[in-house]
Amino acid sequence: MKIIIICLCWLSAFSLKAQNSIDIERPKLVVGIIVDQMRYDYLTRFYNKYSDDGFKRLINEGYNCENAHFNYIPTATAVGHSSVYTGTTPSIHGMMGNYWYDKFLKKQIYCVDDDNYKTVGTATGGKKSPYRLITTTVADELRLAQNMKGKSISISIKDRSAILPVGHTANAAYWFQGKKDGKFITSTYYMKQLPKWVNDFNASGKAKEYLNKKWETLYNINTYTESIADDNEFESTFKGKESPTFPYKLSKLAKKNENFELLKATPFGNSIVIDFAKEAIIAENLGGDDYTDFLAISFSSTDYIGHQFGVDSKEVQDAYLRLDKDIADFLKFLDKKIGKNDYTLFLTADHAAVQVPAYLQSKKIPANYIDSEDFKLYVLAITQKHFKSKELIEHFSYSQLFLDKSKILELKLDVHKVAQILADEIINYKNVHRTVTAQTLQNTVFEERILHNLQNGYNQRLSGDVFIIHNPATISYLRKGSTHGSAYIYDTHVPIIFYGKGIKKGTSKDYIPIIDIAPTLSNLLNISFPNGNTGNIIKGALK
């Protein structure tokens, strides 16, 4: 009788366990796409010009987050890629910008530079690693969840855009070395030599083929009614060309524009990334076995074009119409190679961009430029007035000041008092909207969006001592072309679209921070969230 009871209890427990078990059915391949400097309104402004199979397919068949934003300062490439894939902000993941001042090394540093490694594929350009990113990414967690099975590979024109998304455990990260090389390269952080398929691609002449092309508008330029006149005073042009106007004969311009570097600032930079991504999927058999693979793709050329020509230019419009075609082609490739219902994809941006302030001024809209030297003199006058010294600032940055703690100690001053007086005085400088000290950020929780974003970008160990927020459309940049970096909506509002296996068709108009992408993907994949994650699951996106 006892044996029967034990058996029945065991069967009952087994039955309960079976009922409560999780059926893990992951996609064969996850594809993350980041479009560098893509404003959300590029989806709506150019919508009627897009094909049915690119952006429109993702919007109409996927889950479109119409009110997605970055929730920190600064909105920059390295920070954006890190935040998308880690599910958190600079306050935790430690990626403070593309470049930033290192208080310990006493110098400006670049986000992915690492002299511990060597270049693979060319003579220079590859001493890189993700070591400054102090958290895991969703790609890291996917590999860990599968006991390091499954591959993660990342591809971009920019090194930082390739390195940061796939984190620390990637099988490979490849980026494009321009100048006289025109090759995809990597670092010894990932491998000792390039795989044969990469060498074959580099030797194929594909980059040269694109450099011999003429960049002219995809459609009749007169139909580009969503952008301003082609010849205007708000755009920079390529060296060797008198005006920023179509067409651009690249072979004629190449020599004066560092040869293959020129490709980066044309839509063909995006096209060669798509070509390389296809080869990676085929050669590495991504999505071809029992483990889920991760492919991160970043389209950087849109950023180069936006910086040079501005967000309202015909060059930007043409870049997005051509990117739409490239994405349509890539989706069809994934359908055939992986299977239409076997991959999950998301598309977002690393930041957006401001309209050219000079253009806004021409339309009588308030906008301004920062005179860095004048601002520096203003700050030094403050320290001289209050503390009889011009040596209290260790480093000037566009949006923050680093105090010289040694000098302040030597003069027997209170560092917090110095910082507060600077903040109180700098608010009186032209076009300054807010000033905040590090001490305030450490002791106050801000709810207001702009200051909340500043707080999310503050890292006690790495950040400065006084922070400056300028008025909207006030930038430190040339009078031609666009830039980014602020917490204003023109820099924060970007697309988030989920598509494919496990994704529900629909639209959200709720405010969604960009850091929600990583936990949403993690939940879909049934894996741990990245270890610094502070985002939430976008419930409406998942079936």
Distances (CA, A) of 268 to 214, 298, 323: 10, 14, 9
CA atoms within 13 A on the CB side of 177: 20
Residue 320: which H helix or E strand, with range? helix 314-334
Token pair, residue 92, equals 């935790």
DSSP 21: -
DSSP 541: G
Catalytic residue among 75, 77, 135, 520: 77
Classify 29 as helix, strand or coil. strand
Please count the other Cβ atoms lying within 10 Å of the Cβ belonging to residue 444. Answer: 10
Peptide bond into 74 cis (omega under 30): yes
How far is Cα 109 from Cα 289, in angstroms, rounded to an integer? 40
The residue with tokens 């520096």 is 376
Token pair, residue 50, equals 């897009």
Q: List 507's β-bridge partners, or say none.
A: 64
**Contact (CB, 8 A) for 184 and 177:** yes
How far is Cα 368 from Cα 371, in angstroms, rounded to an integer? 10
Token pair, residue 193, equals 């030599």
CA angle, residues 452, 457, 459, in degrees to nearest 5: 120
**Contact (CB, 8 A) for 267 and 301:** yes
Backbone angles phi, psi at 435, to 5 degrees: -135, 140
Residue 64: which H helix or E strand, with range? strand 63-69
- Kindly give, in sequence order, each residue whose CB lies less than 8 Å from that of residue 374, ignoring residues fewer than 6 positions away: none
Rg, Å, the chain Cα set: 25
Q: Closest by alpha carbon to 437, among 456, 463, 412, 409?
A: 463
Q: Closest by alpha carbon to 488, among 540, 425, 434?
A: 434
Classify 469 as helix, strand or coil. strand
Long-range contacts from 402-406, C-beta under 8 angstroms, 24+ separation: 402/101, 402/103, 402/464, 402/465, 403/464, 403/465, 403/466
Please count the other Cβ atoms lying within 10 Å of the Cβ belonging to residue 192. Answer: 7
**Contact (CB, 8 A) for 323 and 38:** no
How far is Cα 84 from Cα 535, in angstroms, rounded to an integer? 10
Whole-angstrom distance between the N-terminal and C-terminal Cα of the chain?
A: 47
- Tell me, yes or no, if 77 is annotated catalytic: yes
Residue 280: which H helix or E strand, with range? helix 268-283
**Contact (CB, 8 A) for 540 and 98:** no
Peptide bond into 247 cis (omega under 30): yes
- Mind telling me the catalytic residues? 77
